[in-house]
Amino acid sequence: MTEPRQPAIILAEPQLGENIGAAARAMLNFGLTELRVAAPRDGWPNPAAEPLAAGAFDAGVTVTAYESVEAACADLGYLVAATARPRGMEKAVTNASGAVDLLATQTVPTGVLFGSEAQGLHNDHVAMCDAIMTYPVNPAFASLNLSQAVVVFSHAWGEVAGQAGRFEGAKAGVGDPATREELIGMFEHFEDELERAGYFYPPDKTPLMTRNLRNAFIRGQWTSQEVRTFRGAVKALAIGRGKARIKRDN
């Protein structure tokens, strides 16, 4: 799958350097790297951003400062406004996933515009945008921090932009899937020991009981290492049962 063109994240008139840093950290976790700050209250660069960025500026996030929101969005062909308040404007309204779908299909530069900590986006800024993105927040408490708002969108972007995740497609590094040969060997080993222990009774139900056991094992999606471990456990139980029998006989 071809990764869609990344949108720029634009912070409109952000007040705190800490939130700029935290937004950069949130972005990079999900593969976004272009951060624009429009008319930041405390200017840019801002040393207060560094600790909350956790190294994101050195690891790939680029920050460009602009004198106004309009200047920060001037080159963008498609723009989404992030807001929790109804605006009474005739625009498409969607959630984070819907906004990602809209942005990912564009062939022009795009961006997502987030408002300031105190007031959010001004209506004039929302009017510049093609669509509105809002989150399913508690209507009695719609109070996300700026960087939290950025991370919600960034997570939605990461899900469709080919971010594999640290453990996706693997069983946390425990090894390759077991082959059919390994599984059948384990089944037969286990069933032989069950037969010696008198488990299969009455005898005419042995085929059904065997199938039930094998079906249960198959659902476990065993790895080669897990098969070897289980067979070692079966062997240990069999040896222990033999020692107990010898002890009783003596």
Instruction: List the CATH number of the domain containing 145.
Output: 3.40.1280.10
Do 13 and 137 lie in a common domain? Answer: yes
Do 51 and 138 lie in a common domain? Answer: yes
Do 95 and 14 lie in a common domain? Answer: yes
pLDDT given at position 4: 85
Mean pLDDT over 103-114 rounds to: 96
Alpha carbons within 13 A on the beta-carbon side of 228 = 7
Tally of domains within the chain? 2
In a domain, 196, yes or no: yes
pLDDT given at position 25: 97
In a domain, 151, yes or no: yes
Do 98 and 215 lie in a common domain? Answer: no
Q: How many CB atoms lie within 10 A of CB 170?
A: 11
pLDDT digits (tens, 9 = 90+) for 234-245: 999 888 776 655
Do 112 and 209 lie in a common domain? Answer: no
Do 136 and 191 lie in a common domain? Answer: no
Do 13 and 115 lie in a common domain? Answer: yes
Cis peptide before 7 (omega within 30 of 0): no
Do 82 and 47 lie in a common domain? Answer: yes
Can you give the pTM of this predicted structure? 0.70
Q: Is residue 249 scored above 70 in pLDDT?
A: no
Q: Is residue 166 scored above 70 in pLDDT?
A: no
- Bridge partners (DSSP) listed for residue 195: none
pLDDT given at position 167: 54
pLDDT given at position 160: 82
CA-closest candidate to residue 34, choices 3, 65, 55: 65
Do 186 and 153 lie in a common domain? Answer: no
The values of phi and psi at residue 77, to 5°, are -90, -20
Mean pLDDT over 2-31 rounds to: 94
Tell me which residue range forms the domain holding 209.
180-249
User: Residue 63's pLDDT band (boundaries 50, 70, 90)?
Assistant: very high
Q: Is residue 187 scored above 70 in pLDDT?
A: yes
**Which of 105-114, 155-164, 220-229 holds the top average pLDDT?**
105-114
